[in-house]
Each structure stands twice: as C-alpha cells, then as structure tokens.
Structure 1
Amino acid sequence: MMAEQNDHYQADILVVDDTPDNLRLLIRILQKQGYKVRPVTNGLSALEAIQSSPPDLILLDIMMPDLDGYELCQKLKAEPQFSQIPIIFLSALEEGINKAKAFEVGGADYITKPFQMKEVLARVSNQLAVRSLQIQLQEKNQKLTEQNVQLHQEIAERRQVEMETRLLLRATQAISKSEDFESAIDLILRLICETIEWNLGEAWIPSSDGQFLKCALGSYASDLSFSEFRQTSCQLIFQPGVGMPGRIWLGQQSEWIDDVSTAPEQVFLRSQIAANVGLKAAFGVPILAENQVLAVLIFYRDKNLECQPRLLELVSAVATQLGALIQRKQAEESLRLQQKQTERLLLNILPKPIAERLQKEQKLIADHFDEVSVLFADLVGFTEFSARKTPTQLVEILNGIFCEFDRLSESHGLEKIKTIGDAYMVVGGLPTAREDHGRAIALLALEMQSALTQFNLKIGESFQLRIGIHSGSVVAGIIGISKFSYDLWGDTVNVASRMESNGMPGKIQVTGATYERLKEQFIFEERGIIEVKGKGKMLTYWLIGEESIKILS
C-alpha cells in the first residue's frame, strides 16, 4: 500500500545497490523530496527487507553478487503479494539488449548511471503515480466486483421474495374464493406446485373418527405419467406415525426425503412405485389450526434434492395461512348461524322492524302511533280448569290455543304483544302504520272465537273468550336490558283492557271509537252505558259479525 499522509513521508522506497556512492547519492536525492529510503547492498538482503515490509517502489541495481537484479525481479514477480511493486532498474551497462531483458523480467522502468537527479525524481514520481492509480483502480474494481456480486444476490433475493409474496397472495385469494376445505386444498396444491416447479402434490386428511389419514380427492400432477403413483395413494390409509404422512400427522412437523425412490419401505412405503414413475425428492408439511392437524400436504419432484429449509418455510407459511383462513371461515360460518338464531329469537319476541333497529344498536326505541286498535282476550274459566290438570297438561292445552291465535294474528299482519297467564294481547297498526287496523283486529276477534270453539270440540272442554277492543293512540317501545320486551302504553291500552275485564264470556266488547270506525263493515249490537274504572260512564257495543251483505234501499 502507498504510504498515508500522516506517515510524514510520501512513499517507502527500497534502494538496492552494491556501490556505496550510488546509495548515498540516491538517499540524499530521495529523502530531500520527502521519501522514506531503505538502502541495502545486495539481492539477498533486499529479499529479506521486502519480505519483512514490502516497499512502495524498488530502485534495483542489475550487477550484484550472489543474486543479481534480474533474478531478484523474477522472484518478486513470481510472488502474488510482491508482484505489483514497481521496480526501476539501475545500470551503467549499454542500453539495447539489457533494457529489453529488464522489461522482460518485469521491470517498470530503467535508469542508466551516472544518475541525473531530475531524471531519477521524475521516473520515481511517475512510477509511484502509476502505482497509486493502479491501487485505486484495483480497489474500485474490487468494490465494483463486490457490489456486482451483492447486486446479483439482492436481485436473486428480491426475485425469491417476490415469488414467495406472490405465492402467499395468490394462496390467500384462492382460499378466500374457495367454497369448502376440499376445493381450497385442490387450488393450493396446484398453486404451490406450479410456483415452486415441483411435479406432484397431494393431500392427506384425517378420517371422520380421527383414526387414520386418507388421501384427499384434490391433487395436482404436472404429467400423466404420475397417475400410477396417484392411484396407489388413493388406495392407502396411514395410521399416526406410520409412513411419511403419518409421521407428519403425529409429530405436527414438516419432513424432507432427498430420494424416496431409494428410501427403505419403513421410511417410504411406495418407493418402488416412485422409482417406476421417476419421482425422487419429497417433502411434506402439516396444516394446523389450534394444534389440530387439518391435513398433510406432500410434494414430489423428479430430481434428487437435499433439504431446502427456505422452501419448507415458504410452504409451511402457506399451510399456516390455509389453516388460519379455514379456521376463520369456520368461525364465520358459526357466527352466521348464531346470528340467524339470534334473529329468529328476536323475531319471536319483537316485530321485524323493531328487531332490525335493535340490531343496529339503537339503544332507546320508543314511537308514538296516532291510530291503532288494541285487543285483549281472556280465557274464561281457565283458572278453575287449571286446578284439576297437571302442569304439563295445562301448558300443553294453553300452548295449543295460543299457537292458533298466533297463526291467526300473523295471517292478518297483526303484532302479538304478549300473553299474561291465560290473557292474550294483540295490536293492529304498528310498528308499520295501516289504515285497516280496526278491521283486521275485528276479524281476528271473530276468528279467535271460532278457533276456540273448534278447539273445545277437539278436547271436550267448554272454554270461552272474553274480548275487548279499543282504537286510539299509543306509545310503543322496548323496555328492559337483558329480558327486554316490546310493549304498549297509553289510555288506549287501559281502555281496551277495561273492555275485556268488563265484558261477558263469549262476547266481543268494543268502545264507541272502534264502533265508529267499523260500523259500515261489521254488525254491532249496542250494549249501552257501563261504568268503567278510571273513565266513568262509557257507551259500548258488542261485535256480532262481519257485514257481508249490503242491503240496498
């Protein structure tokens, strides 16, 4: 290496000459210019000095005892660590042939004696400059070579990463689009084989009872020549720990076999068939979800290959992704089923529009309705009846009656609000407003009486209904937090309840407000004025039936 600036001299120069006067002259000339000068008087001493500390430049006399300049130069040029040191020959001999020989053995320049100071300095400076440029060029070349190697490595690494990223992305998309586990595995086998350029891929899945592995229907083969191997796979099953699939299943770890065609039968059961079709290298990975093996993927190639950890990691990553996505799909499906069950439960206790609003996290639901009709019905004599029946019989009969009332209410588009013991409450005109709410409630009341008559005939009882109806405005909403319910409030509700409690068995009592709305469509009978708690005297009517025939005057 060239001397650094902080070494206090420009360069380290070795002067080899057996003439003391020449040495003194060269030392004086060179040191005056700031060079470090090491003088030696013969070739052997020069060789030792060079081996001890290589100089930046050598001024070398040709004619010396023991080892002349030509021989020393040849020795140095034969050694890689010294071959680049520039050598300037010194000689008083005739030029011609001697100069040619100096250049042939590797000399960089030639100075004839007696020396000219300016010539010596110029030639030394020139060779040192050339050497410095050579060193810089070598360093740049070395740096470029290293950068080029690094660049090629980075390009290869980037391509590898791009391939891996592309595989993972395409795997995610393929799995997301798959309808079920089998179709997802089929797509993944093809995708992995085509991406990593392997010949055959197959999957092994646990049996329904978890006792053995069987070959899945989905597979990938790059060539029909592997069909014999594939057919054999379809006929096999593997117990935990048996064969390559069984070992991966039991250990939940990936496995690599360099050449299955030469593997012992206990290591690989189908080695002979693999040899017949030309399959050699094989590796397998498990698909795991919550420490459960969903499947084992195994891939084959027609080349003998040593284990490639990065490839195992890549395919294991795809398998992990597949397991996670399948698990997520199963969770999503379970959540969808739970949501459907929740919706069904909500619809059993709430009107559909109210259930939808509640699912949107609307905390408080309360609405005012100007026009609705409310019906209360009570089973007369049911309390006495319950005293002579078992609880099971009682609930069974009451459920049969109310289920029929529910069916009738639904057929008229009415909303059942609740049952209280043997009482039944239903409303028309909410949560969706409708103009014919009174008519729908009146028809329901008449059909409830007919339905109860048929039920009595069926079970041999004589139940009667006491029904009350009133029309007006109400407030409707949800009350409660955990066991919430949809209920009605207002004077209309209270009056409808009084119509039922002040009515008579087998009769449908309505208020004047309901009568005014329906008198053109139904047949009524005036009951007269009755005393109603909280309201005083009220004129009420009995609903007899539907006005089906118009009498023209």
Structure 2
Amino acid sequence: MNQARSLMPQENILVVDDNPANLKLLTQLLSQQGYHVRVAPNGSLALKSVKAHFPDLIILDILMPEMDGYQVCEQLKANPETQQIPIIFLTAVHEAIDKVKAFSLGGVDYITKPFEEREVLARIENHLRLRSLQLELEKRNRLLRKQEAEIRLLLAIVQKINQAEDIHSALADVLPLVCLTIHWDYAEAWIFNGSRRQLQCSQSYYSRDRSLASFHSQSQDSSLNTEVGLLAKLFHSKKPIWTKNISQEDWQNFSRFQQAMAVGFQAAGAVPILGDNQVLAWLFFFKQESFSSSSWLIQLVSGVATQLGSFMQRKQAQDELKNQKEQTEQLLLNILPRPVAQRLQSNPEIIADDYADASVLFADLVGFTAFSAQKTSTELIKILNEIFSRFDRLTEKYQLEKIKTIGDAYMVVGNLPDAHPKHTIAIAQMALEMQASIADFSRQTNENFQLRIGINIGPVVAGVIGKTKFIYDLWGDTVNVASRMESSGVPGKIQVTATVYERLKDRFKFETRGLVPIKGKGEMTTYFLVGISQPVT
C-alpha cells in the first residue's frame, strides 16, 4: 500500500475528535500512508480549518462538547463550497438511529470505534478515489460541453464519434468524412501499440486512385518510431504540421517519405490527437497534388482531432468507472453475503429476514489485549490477519457465513442467508478445527494463544443496517446467548447450550460443565464440546 500511495499526490485529510489519543492514533496511521493530516479538537476549530483550506476528506467524531459532529456536518453540507467534501463519521456511537442521522445529514460512511485500521484505510482510499474520479469526470464534462458549443460545424462527425463503440470504429467512420470534406486523397490514424515509442496504424481511408492501396498495405505492415526523424519533432511540439510539398526538409525525415513519394503524394499534414496535453494518437493526411492548407482546413481537422481526443478520454474514463464499479461490487461482496448483496443492488431497501433455526458461533482470543501491549500495530495486524484468514478458510470449507470480526473476536453463523441442512454439525466441526488451528499457530509462532468459543442455536433476525455503509448482522436471544456462551466459557474450550447438546449428542463428544450463571438468563446448564464420536459426512 505504501508503494502505491507514494505514486499519488498527498491528499489532505482533516481529523476532528476531542480525544487527544484518537487524534494521535489517526494522525500516525494516516501519515504513514502518505496522507497530509490536519487535526481539530472541536467542531468550531474544524469549521475554521475547513474555511482556511478545504480538505479532500474529513474524519468526524460525533460526541464532542459545544458543537457535536452532526452540527459540524450540517453546516458543511449547507455551504455550497464545502458540501461536496466527503465526511466519514468515526465514532463510538453505534446505534442504528445515529447512523441513519449521520447519513441523512450527508455523511458518506460511518465507522464505529474500536475500529479495524485496515478497514478505515480501505474506506478512506475508496472515498478519495471516488471523489477524485467525480472531480475528473466533472472537469471532462465541462470541457466536452465547451467543445460541443464551439464546433457546431462538426455535428455530423460528432454524431459518428458518439455512436462508435471504441476509438477504432470511430476512426473508421470519421476519416472518410474528413477526407471527403477537405477533398484530400488519403488519411490514416496511428495509435500507440502498448509502447510510447511505437505507433501502429489503426484505420486508413483512400479515395479515387486505387493505386493508393499499396500505401495502405504498407501502413498495415509498418510501425512508426516516435523518437526519430519527423515523429520526434512532432511529439516534442505537439502541434499540427501542414505542407504543400513533402519534398521539403522536415518531411524528408519522415520514415515513410520514400513510400509516400512513390505513390505520388505531394501535400501532407500531421495532426495530434491530444488528451490532457498528452499525445494519444496522430492523424496523417496526404494529397496527390500540391495544396496550400487554409485556416479553415486546419481548424476543421484540428477540431476533429479535439473531438477524437475527448472521445478517447471519455472512453478511458468510462473504462475506469467500470473498473471502479467492479471493484466496489467486489468490496460489497467481501462485506455482505452474495444473496444479500444482490438484493441490495437491485432494491436498496432495508433487509430484515427471520430465520427459525440458525447456528451462531462466537470466538475470542483470550488475553490478546495484554499480548497486544507487547507488539507494534503492524505486528498485531499481521498476526490477526493470519489467524482470521485461517478461520475464513474454515468458514468457506463448511459453507458457513462469516458475519464480522470485532477486535480479536470472530462471529460465524450457519443456515443463513442460504439454507444449510447440516449447519449445526458444520459449525461444531468448525469450532473443533478452530481450536486445532489456533494450537497449530501457537506452535509455529512460539506463542500461547488460546481460543474461547461459544455456540447456540435457535431463531434469529438477520438484516442490513445503514444507507451507504452496509452491515449484515444478527439479532435475537439466540445471538445474545451464543455471545454469553463465549464470554462465560473457559480458555481452550467450546461451551455450548443444552439445545446444542441435545441436537449433537449422538454425533459428538461432550463434557457436562453444569450450571453456569449467564448474564440476563440466570443459571443455565452448559456443556463442553470436546470431539467427534462418530464420522460426520
């Protein structure tokens, strides 16, 4: 990530939080990624900072004295000059009503504390990329509107360009129109073939004299070196060049001069297709009689080149948007189960489904908080990533659904959103393999990691919260009890409810723990899952 970011300009991020520790942590995290970070300890100073210099993105806390985050966001969104600045709420407030309010005021994202550093960085980068692309598209759209207003005489050519699927088909339509309009005999377009040093002929057009077919064939079999002769001069100037007689000195340095003379060309012209002042391609025109180019001809062909350049940029922007959309969709699939993501894309309404029978597993790394005090943030992230990646592979193996990670905790569910006829068996197998996996990881790292796991089964409600930041989560007594099974459990053990025991006792080995006080439930009889009693298919 650091190498990738070093190639990008430093985006300016304003962090607003009344907690000095949070400001310090976020400043360090963002600065390490190459961002330029400014901080504001309260809402008033944040507004003054924004007024002094617009940031590219704002990370905003909600709970602050005098002026809270909502008020800051509301004022910024009310100002036309600042309303487009992306605002990410980063706060300890996690109630759904607060998230809805944040998004309704114009926030683009909502992250709850404690947060996962990689997730925060990924969301920041994504929103900055979207904002950059939006600004770039707005800039290009303004340029296109100006060009369309200025070159009304090119309506027919513009229509052809707009109807084309790609630059090659656009050139195939445009070159004949240009040649017939300016009464020249031959035209061809040369585009980079993957290297900035070589041009390849994309399209060509010739009229009347069929002897020009030989020149066309030679073009298809040739490439032009942009670093020598006439081409080097053209690329340096980035300006069109027209001559009534190619026997003059400049064109004698053209690599295809002898071929052009052989078919009787006399007048010639070369016009660059530019985008953001960079050469995208070249148009070449030839005529079999001496001809002094008029200002009308030069303006007309230059106008065509301008339109083609805009078309190529637009296509590039569309391709970039398509790629960005695909990346966003993939990110959505990484956050949400595929069926839920598909429903959300087709109908972005609240999703809340009842499931009569689901298996819920909570797992927690025991003592990881104390362990983290001995490691750097990078080391911690690397270790958690390795452990949770192991768990992710087990989730895929048993066709279960990972719901989320919270710090060093991991949550998995079975039988939703897709039905799983053996979900309880699968989640029990996964729990046993999780314990084996963490033991194996401890041996490899010479550490003493232990996992506390809790499992419960029963009805749940599953759905998506939020408008633009989508979180798929579970609710219900079944979920609460599963969480209590984990928190009241024993390190290295898998604690389950009596309901789980009754369903699995014929297939798995259990040890009775007995009555355990469970918060909100009183005393409950629980069991430890210790192994498999008979093969499970």
Partner amino acid for 2:268? Answer: A
Contact 1:248 1:296 in 2 (8 A): no
Correspondence list, 1:28-427, <5 A: 172-173=162-163, 175-176=164-165, 178=166, 183=168, 187=172, 191=176, 198-203=184-189, 215-218=199-202, 220=204, 223-226=212-215, 234=223, 237=226, 243=230, 246=233, 250=237, 252-253=239-240, 255-261=241-247, 264-266=248-250, 269=253, 274-307=260-293, 315-360=301-346, 362-427=348-413
1:207-258 Cα shifts (integer Å, max 9, x gaps): 9897xx854343536525547996998566468xx859845973645x5433
Q: Separation in 1 of the partners of 2:321 and 2:221? A: 40
Query: Helix, strand or coil: the match of 1:443?
Result: helix
Query: Which letter does structure 1 place at the counterpart of 2:483?
Result: S
Counterpart of 1:342, as a letter, is: T
Residue from 464, 469, 482 that aligns with 2:455: 469
2-side partners of 1:245 and 1:461: how far apart?
63
Q: How many pairs align?
A: 376
The aligned counterpart of 1:512 is 498
State how far apart, in whole Å, the 2-side matches of 1:214 and 1:543 are.
Answer: 68
Deviations 1:393-427 (A, max 9, x none): 33332322121111111222222222223222111
Identical residues among aligned pairs (%): 48
Q: CA-to-partner distance for each residue in 1:518-552, whole Å, 9 max, x for gaps?
A: 334333333333332211232222222233259xx
Residue pair 1:193, 1:299 contacting (<8 A) in 2 also: no
The correspondence for 1:521, drawn from 507, 524, 533, is 507
Rounded to whole Å, the distance in 2 between the matches of 1:382 and 1:294 is 55
Query: C-alpha displacement at 1:308, in angstroms?
Result: 5.9
Per the alignment, do residues 403 and 244 of structure 1 end up closer, same or farther by CA in structure 2, a change over 3 Å counting? Answer: closer
Find the structure with the greater CA-based Rg.
1
TM-score with structure 2 setting the length: 0.60
Letter of the aligned partner of 1:216 in structure 2?
Answer: Q
Inter-partner Cα distance in structure 2 for 1:382 and 1:516: 33
Q: Which has the higher contact order (CA 8 A, sep 6+)?
A: 2
Distance 2:451 2:250 in 1: 82
Q: Please state how far the C-alpha of 1:507 moved relative to its aligned partner.
A: 1.8
Distance (whole Å) between structure 2 residues aligned to residue 368 and residue 274 of structure 1: 76
State whether residues 249 and 286 of structure 1, in contact with CA within 8 Å, keep that contact through their aligned partners in structure 2.
no
Any conservation in 1 of the 2:193–2:199 contact (CA below 8 Å)?
Answer: no
Per-residue CA deviations over 1:381-403 (Å, capped at 9, x if unaligned) read 33443344444433332322121
Cα distance in structure 2, aligned partners of 1:286 and 1:377: 63
Alpha-carbon distance, 1:356 to partner: 3.0
Q: Which runs of 5+ in 1 are unaligned?
A: 1-162
Q: Cα deviations across residues 57-76 of structure 1 (Å, max 9, x unaligned)?
A: xxxxxxxxxxxxxxxxxxxx
- Maintained 8 Å contact 1:192/1:315: no
Cα deviation code 1:242-279 (max 9, x no counterpart)? 859845973645x5433334xx3147645776444311
- Classify 1:405/1:333 alpha carbon distance in 2 versus 1 (closer, same or farther; 3 Å): same
Distance in 2 (CA, whole Å) between partners of 1:312 and 1:541 is 87
Of 413, 428, 442, the match for 1:456 = 442
| Residue 542 (structure 1) aligns with | 528
Deviation for aligned residue 1:315: 4.3
2:224 and 2:535 map into 1 onto residues whose CA distance is: 79
Describe the shift of the 1:457–1:278 C-alpha distance in structure 2 as closer, same or farther (beyond 3 A).
same
| Alpha-carbon spacing, 1:297–1:443, altered in 2? closer, same or farther (3 Å) | same
Q: Cα distance 1:311–1:458, how it changes in 2: closer, same or farther (>3 A)?
A: same
In the TM superposition, residue 192 of structure 1 has moved relative to its aligned partner by 5.2
Please tell me the residue identity of whatever aligns with 2:200. Answer: A
1:476 alignment partner AA: A
Counterpart CA distance in 2 for 1:235 and 1:509 is: 73
Tell me which amino acid in the other structure corresponds to 2:340: I
222-231 or 461-470: bigger deviation: 222-231
Long gaps (5+) in structure 2: 1-152
Cα separation, 2, equivalents of 1:232 and 1:465: 67
Contact kept in structure 2, 1:256 and 1:284, CA below 8 Å:
yes
Task: Kindly provide the CA deviation profile for residues 117-149 of structure 1, in whole angstroms up to 9, marking residues without a partner as x.
Answer: xxxxxxxxxxxxxxxxxxxxxxxxxxxxxxxxx
More moved, 406-415 vs 278-287: 278-287
Q: Secondary structure at the match of 2:249?
A: coil
What is the CA-CA distance between 1:310 and the residue it aligns to? Answer: 5.9
Give the TM-score of the pair, scaled to structure 1. 0.58
Q: Is the 8 A contact 1:469 1:499 kept in 2?
A: yes
Q: CA 1:509/1:235 → structure 2, altered by over 3 Å: closer, same or farther? A: closer
